[in-house]
Amino acid sequence: MSKLPRVTGKEMVRALQRAGFVEDRQKGSHLTLLHPETRLRTVVPIRGRALGPGLTHSILKQAGLTAEDLRRLLK
């Protein structure tokens, strides 16, 4: 398994939007994203520091993406 890149919440949202996700709703500092075709849904906390590796893995799993997909979307 390849190492996960360290990303902030804003970077994760930008990558997920490039993958086709759109903003569904926001409550406080948590943004819910929805993919209109696959109906997959994930929640990303928007905060100033980098997301932990466990949270990053969980978000990618909910979104149906891999670490390699994330690297490609961040470029």
pLDDT in tens, 10-55: 999 999 999 999 999 999 999 999 999 999 999 999 988 999 999 9
Going by CATH, does the domain composed of 9-70 fall within 3.30.920.30?
A: yes
Q: Quick one: pLDDT at residue 1?
A: 55
Percentage of residues in the chain having pLDDT higher than 70:
97
Instruction: Quickly state the pLDDT bin for 66 (edges 50, 70, 90).
Output: very high
CA dihedral sign of residues 53, 47, 27, 41: negative
Which residues neighbour 22 within 8 Å (Cβ) at sequence distance 6 or greater? Answer: 33, 34, 35, 36
